Structure 1
Amino acid sequence: MSRVKSRQNVEICGDCGAPDATWASINKGILLCTQCCSIHRSLGRHISQVKSLQKGSWNPNQLAMVCTLNNNGANSIWEHNLLENNGKLMKKKPNPKDAISVKSEFIKAKHLQCAYTFRDNATYDEGLENELGKQLHASVRTPNLETSFRLLVQGADPNYFHDERGTTPLHIAAKTEQKLQVELLLVYGADPTFPDAHGKTPIDYAKKNVNKDLLNRLIESQYEVTDAFIQYLTHKRPDHQNGIHFILPQGGFESNPNSLTKLQKMKNALFEQLAMDVYDEIDRRETEAIWLSCVDAIDLNVVPFLPVDSTMSKPRNQGRQKLARFSTPELKSLVFDILIDTQRRQLLSETGPNRTHLREYSPVSDDDPLYDSVAPDEDYALPPIQENEKPQTDTVEQLTKQLKASDSTICDLKAEVNQLKAHVESLKCENIELKTRLSQCKVPETNNSINGDEFSSLQPIISNGDVDLRQNRKNQRPSSMYETREGLKTPNWQLLKNQIKQNDQLRNATQSLYGTAQDKQTVFECTELITRSIQQLCKSIQDRDKEDCVDSGEKVKFAVLRLATILPKETEKKSIKPMCDILPHLLAECYSLQTAHKEGDAAKIERHLTKIRELSFYLAKHTKDILTRYSSAQ
């Protein structure tokens, strides 16, 4: 994989004509400016697959395919009715200086509704599909990439099976060594494991070629999802050329038994859907990190969760959106569990009933996996244990070790419970003392600089331990992505109980994102929580390893969101809205700082440190404004 370091031949946005386009839509075959790219991202990856030309990780063939389509006028296919002289839809194309709302209306009509694309007036019956498929067969054997792209846009099936030749378009492209045609077919969903009439796959045809780059690319395309998971956890890719197709991280990750049990009970179709949804979420987060690092993207809208896909059910769309709630450690734990169960399913497919090798690939159906070979659901049932059969020695030893580890864990938990009881008693005393101090304290004037005295003027009331928001959730399943989180777990249990009751009453009364205002004491506690989180963040970025920087940033985010749930809307407009806008940039800087530290780039480290201090100052300033307003109201 390589990263683009030089500019392309035609750096003009395909939607508005802006110069110096730095993004690309892979399946649309055009380059994009930053503004138009923000609209493409809001449409969803199922509509437009965007990637940064300067910072994205590209396969050389894929990059060459996109540049060839862009330079050969692929954009004219999407704007056919705009360029046609006698067209019925002579709509004006937006200019680079037009408002983003004008560009959004045009892009949605162009790419989401395909309003300007040429469509045959004939009904899409079997005869027309066969004709398009035969034309695609003839086109992929030539270097004419634009013709194949036009046929795919008009509805040609990339896996069309030619009855007379007994092959698919990917067989022909691999046999004739048309690398760019192969890349285009893969983008539109061609299956590299589809057998022809003689039982040979496109990979078998590629093995006969002298140049092995095409063979490696086809093999790599089979493991696109698992490769993305492995790279997300380890920043490494399996060595497919040497037959290493799967790497399970050995250290730094622990499997969640409850999560793994649920994954093992899932059927193949549901498991594949979950894997694809997690894959899309990882792609969204990686693109979001690159997006926030661009200077010209700061004022544009971010994509907080996966956009809705109209082809999927409502529950699945809600589940995809809720993946955005997972923190980075939680998402990595889920990815690790998916990899473990993927390996288990592959082993079962090899050693299942009447199997001595991997299952041979057959034509794709709705119930079959996309690429990877997975055994049917009935093959997952383990063979029954005979009465006279004794467990193996290694299994007994393993169970003994697990029991010892469990006993040690129980002892540690008992000691921790005793410590927590003592800590709760001390917090009760501290709470009474702080209530007295808060009623007498006066908030100093706001300065234009950040220092330790300014932060220490607001004393926190919670400990430095990790806060788990999930413990305060209701057992009821959230109905949509827009349902708010519960409050943070505080030592004041009676106050927490009352707060939960008030939040439940508020949800039944209104569909607003934020709740009603709480009493002044609760506001003071929330502002103290934000101050403590900011202090912990500033302390973590001074450490050498800077490993806790991202976790500290997450705590700041949770603290601000808790304050947003208890303030009225008029206060939210003045103070909370700017604080919520700062949070994505703060988290992006934390991730960038951690990456720069691993790379050892001193200049980037100093730049990200300065940016984090600046964003922390603005959060502290808005927090102090809220505390000042509520203190003066006493």
Structure 2
Amino acid sequence: MVIPTLTETRMSKRLRNSEVCADCSTSDPRWASVNRGVLICDECCSVHRSLGRHNSQVRHLSNTSWPPTQLQMVQTLYNNGANAIWEHTLLDPSSIMSSKRKPNHQDKLHPNKADFIKAKYQMLAYVHRLPCRDDDSTAAADLSKQLHSSVRTGNLETCLRLLSLGAQANYFHPEKGNTPLHIAAKAGQVCQAELLCVYGADPGAPDSSGKTPINYARQAGHQDLADRLVEIQYELTDRLAFYLCGRKPDHKSGQHFIIPQMADSSVELTEFAKAAKRKLQSLSDHLFEELAMDVYDEVDRRETDAVWLATQNHSTLVTETTVVPFLPVNPEYSSTRNQGRQKLARFNAHEFATLVIDILSDAKRRQHGNPVPSPKDNVDVFFKSGGSRHGSESQEIDQPDYDSVASDEDTDTDLRMGKADRTKSLDSDLSDGPVSVQEFLEVKNALSASEAKIQELMKANSNLNEELRLMQKKASKFDKQSSVSDGDYDNTVNESDLDDSGFGRRCRLRSSGWMGESGSIPELEDHECELDPSLPSTEDVIRKTEQITKNIQELLRAAQENKHESFVPCAERIHVAVNEMAALFPKRPRSETVRNSLRLLTSSANRLQTECKKASPLESSQASDMQLVTQQVIQCAYDIAKAAKQLVTITTKENN
């Protein structure tokens, strides 16, 4: 995470002074809905997030880096009563809706607040409705023309009201020969430009003479606005690059792309990975844009999840309000596209980072109009060349930088994933191959009955502690099963992972030998070892999970209170508890789900130790680095809790 600038911090503080949540009137709201122009509290934000970005684009006021002009736009809208747009009929005495009671901060989140928020923003139940007309297209054109005229002024709330009624941000005026963004750019209306772009206006759209809004701004002498419009034009690829390496291109110098490089780029791609890359490159521009937008939304979901976990009260580890497990359904998309979007959440960090890199690489290729490399040239055209292109493109002014993204094997030599993936460290142990974009593309062409799995996933994210207590009651009727053998358990941390205080000390336990000496997972496809169908008792698994949960809660409280010196001892206790839980299971579980959960559990615990060690004051001299490390620590802790939860659920089901 990037530390907000002093200007951003002051602006966000001014926003929160004596402000209240737009949905329940709770004081000191800490989140904003950018496209709605309102401030919201933590509880209401959890509902906003479940609605999807197409309904509400949420950002934390102080723990997210804001473009200053976008924050200024939200501040202006909020101060000028933008909330009244979304609650028009509730405030109109002549409306039958005026008698409906708006929830307050004492009401329950579910169903009171949640139902109101869904009606307000998803159904637009309280927005002013225009009289019905026979020709809807004419009405929309009239609204868009009004928008075209209004953006030359600073009256933001008028434009937001027009957009809420159906005005089109990209409307091309037939007589004027340009769009509302052209007019706002020429007039130097920065906040109007921000609002239009939030609603989809294109900074690169040409007018009737081929000039873009960027050209209009420069010709009118609004250089800062022109630079901001360039940033917005590259927002998708900038956001993807920043997600992986914590840096953005310097557009002012002509650099428009940063394409990170995997640290294990010398590894030969599998045929499966090469085929997946070729299929990505063969997509039409339309389908590629759809995929890129879906990945952008998934990046936003993962980053917002990390901020959410960092800012919540962790007295309970996982509740139904803390996690959005996958991208919510967008009714404007096809069912297959929605299924593909949701499947992105199943990509582990290594798979997702690889997909993001491929998209960045191909976006640059497509923008420059370069042909798809031949199969012979396509072999590692990005990975083996260190990301550079062959031919004249290598001499371009916007030649990208290549930041190395660490793999599990390079945790000491290149740990840039502390800044790179702020939701998960790369985890090649969880991947069946270097690239799994094929999975995503296949689901685009297949209608699968995934609704049941989705519901199951949602249920799986209920309150962990409450579920453990219920399961403990059930477990009392089962006899304990001894699953600990006499084999040696040696989870040895690499010498390079040790610090001066002896962090990472060798932990030797009696176990079934499930993990190897390096602390990583042995090859589960070793056919010389038979699959073991036995599982430990539910009671044993619950007991170990409770121990893990208690330690994680302590770690999360330390993160929330910025007690970084507590990270290492907390991580060590979690690591020991995880090892003890893994030791309950056989070396070769028959269930693939069990194997995957154990992989996630143990690899996340190993990553957690590495990230916590980086929180040492000697190694984290910059506040921005410390925040990035803290995000990594929180995400690793969440992954451990999720894996433990999965194992509890599995063993309970199997033992029943």
TM range (shorter): 0.5 to 0.7
Contact 2:310 2:631 in 1 (8 A): no
2:280 aligned residue (263, 267, 285):
263
Task: Note if 1:456 corresponds to 2:477.
Answer: no
Match of 2:138 in 1: 127
| Cα distance in 2 between the residues matched to 1:270 and 1:613 | 33
* In structure 2, C-alpha distance between the alignment counterparts of 1:20 and 1:292, rounded to whole Å: 19
Structure-to-structure mapping, 1:4-43, within 5 angstroms: 4-6=8-10, 7-9=13-15, 11-43=19-51
Shift of 1:197: 2.1
Indicate yes or no: 2:103 matched with 1:97.
Answer: no
1:199 Cα deviation after fit: 2.0
For 2:375 and 2:647, the matched residues in 1 are separated by 65
Change (3 A) 1:465 1:314: farther
Question: Structure 1 pair 208/557, CA: closer, same or farther in 2 (3 Å)?
Answer: farther
Indicate the SS of the match to 2:277.
Answer: helix
Matched, 1:58 2:66: yes
Task: Deviation per CA, 1:566-618: give whole Å up to 9, x if none.
Answer: 99xxxx9xxxx9x9xx99x9899779748746744699899999999999999
Does structure 2 conserve the Cα–Cα contact (< 8 Å) formed by 1:526 and 1:562? Answer: no
Q: 1:315-334 to 2 correspondence within 5 Å? A: 315-334=336-355
Letter in 2 for 1:495: L
Displacement of 1:322 in angstroms is 1.4
Aligned mates of 1:291, 1:53 — CA distance in 2: 12
Alignment match, 1:194:
205
Is the 2:306–2:631 contact (alpha carbons within 8 Å) kept by the matching residues of 1? no
The residue aligned with 2:127 is 117
Provide the rounded CA distance (Å) in 2 between the counterparts of 1:104 and 1:332.
34
Distance 1:383 1:190 in 2: 38
Following superposition, the deviation at residue 296 of structure 1 comes to 3.5
Alignment of 1:80 with 2:116, yes or no, is no
CA contact (8 A) 1:192 1:201 kept: yes
Alignment CA distance shift 1:112-1:531 (3 Å)? closer
* Paired residues of 1:27 and 1:48 also in contact (CA < 8 A): yes
Task: Return the letter of the residue paired with 1:54.
Answer: S
1:369-405, Cα deviation, whole Å (9 max, x unpaired): xxxxxxxxxx7597999xxxxxxxx99xxxxxxxxxx
Question: What is the deviation of 1:8?
Answer: 2.4
* Larger relative contact order (CA 8 Å, sep ≥ 6): 2
How far 1:624 moved relative to its partner? 13
- Over residues 407-464 of structure 1, what are the superposed CA-to-partner deviations in whole Å (9 max), with x where a residue is unaligned? xxxxxxxxxxxxxxxxxxxxxxxxxxx98649xxxxxxxxxxxx99998254543324
Select which of 273, 282, 291 maps to 2:290: 273
CA change 1:557–1:199 in 2 (3 A) is farther
What is the identity, as a one-letter code, of the residue corresponding to 2:359? I
CA deviation profile, 1:535-555 (whole Å, cap 9, x unmatched): 9xx9xx99x999x99xx89x9
The answer to whether the 8 Å contact 1:159/1:191 transfers is yes
Stretch of structure 1 that moved more, 274-283 or 182-191:
274-283
Q: Residue 12 of structure 1 contacts residue 32 of structure 1 at CA under 8 Å; is this kept in 2?
A: yes
Residue pair 1:5, 1:54 contacting (<8 A) in 2 also: yes
Offset at 1:168?
1.0
Aligned residues: 485
CA distance in 2, matches of 1:221, 1:78: 26
What is the CA–CA distance in structure 2 between the aligned matches of 1:121 and 1:210, rounded to whole Å? 42
TM-score (norm 1): 0.64
Q: Distance in 1 between matches of 2:71 and 2:207?
A: 29
Aligned partner of 2:322 among 286, 293, 301: 301
Q: Report the CA distance shift for 1:253/1:280 in structure 2 as closer, same or farther (over 3 A).
A: farther
Deviates more, 1:177-186 or 1:329-338: 329-338
The 3-state SS of whatever aligns with 2:39 is strand
For the 8 Å contact 1:193–1:202, the answer to whether it is kept is yes
**Measured at CA, do residues 225 and 622 of structure 1 come closer, stay the same or move farther in structure 2, by a change above 3 Å?**
closer
8 Å contact kept, 2:43–2:109:
yes
28-37 vs 207-216, which deviates more? Answer: 207-216
Cα-Cα RMSD: 5.4
CA contact (8 A) 1:260 1:341 kept: no
1:242 corresponds in structure 2 to 253
Give the deviation of 1:257 after TM superposition: 2.8
Structure 2 vs 1, CA of residues 171 and 295 (structure 1 numbering), >3 Å: closer, same or farther? Answer: same
CA change 1:33–1:595 in 2 (3 A) is: farther
Matched, 1:209 2:209: no
Residue 145 of structure 1 and its aligned partner are, at CA, apart by: 0.6
Distance 1:624 1:46, change over 3 A: closer
Whole-Å separation in 1 of the counterparts to 2:299 and 2:345: 10
Name 2:173's counterpart in structure 1: 162
User: In 2, Cα distance between the equivalents of 1:190 and 1:608?
Assistant: 32
Structure 2 counterparts to residues 407-418 of structure 1, below 5 A? none
Measure how far apart 1:339 and its partner are: 1.7
Cα deviation for residue 37 of structure 1 reads: 0.2
Contact 2:309 2:322 in 1 (8 A): no
1:259 partner amino acid: A
Question: How far apart are residue 233 of structure 1 and its match?
Answer: 2.0
Give 1:176's match in structure 2, choosing from 149, 171, 187.
Answer: 187
The aligned counterpart of 2:161 is 150
Q: Percent identity?
A: 41
Alpha-carbon distance between aligned partners in 2 of 1:9 and 1:606, rounded to the nearest angstrom: 28
Aligned equivalents of 1:51 and 1:96: distance in 2? 21
- 5 Å-filtered alignment, 1:470-485, equals none
Please name the residue that 1:371 is paired with: none
**Distance change in 2, residues 1:610/1:24 (3 Å):** closer
Q: Contact 2:37/2:83 (CA < 8 Å) preserved in 1?
A: yes
Which sections of structure 2, spanning at least 5 residues, go unmatched?
Answer: 378-388, 391-482, 488-503, 556-563
Can you give the 5+ residue segments of structure 1 that lack an aligned partner in the other structure?
352-378, 386-393, 396-433, 439-450, 472-487, 500-517
Q: Is the 8 A contact 2:512 2:583 kept in 1?
A: no
Once the two structures are superposed, residues 125-166 of structure 1 have per-residue CA deviations (whole angstroms, 9 ceiling, x without a partner) of 232122111211121011111101100000001111222222
CA distance in 2, matches of 1:208, 1:562: 69
Are residues 249 and 56 of structure 1, via their aligned partners in 2, closer, same or farther at CA, if it must alter by over 3 Å? Answer: same
Deviation, 1:491, is 6.5
1:588/1:286 Cα in 2 relative to 1: closer, same or farther (>3 Å)?
Answer: farther
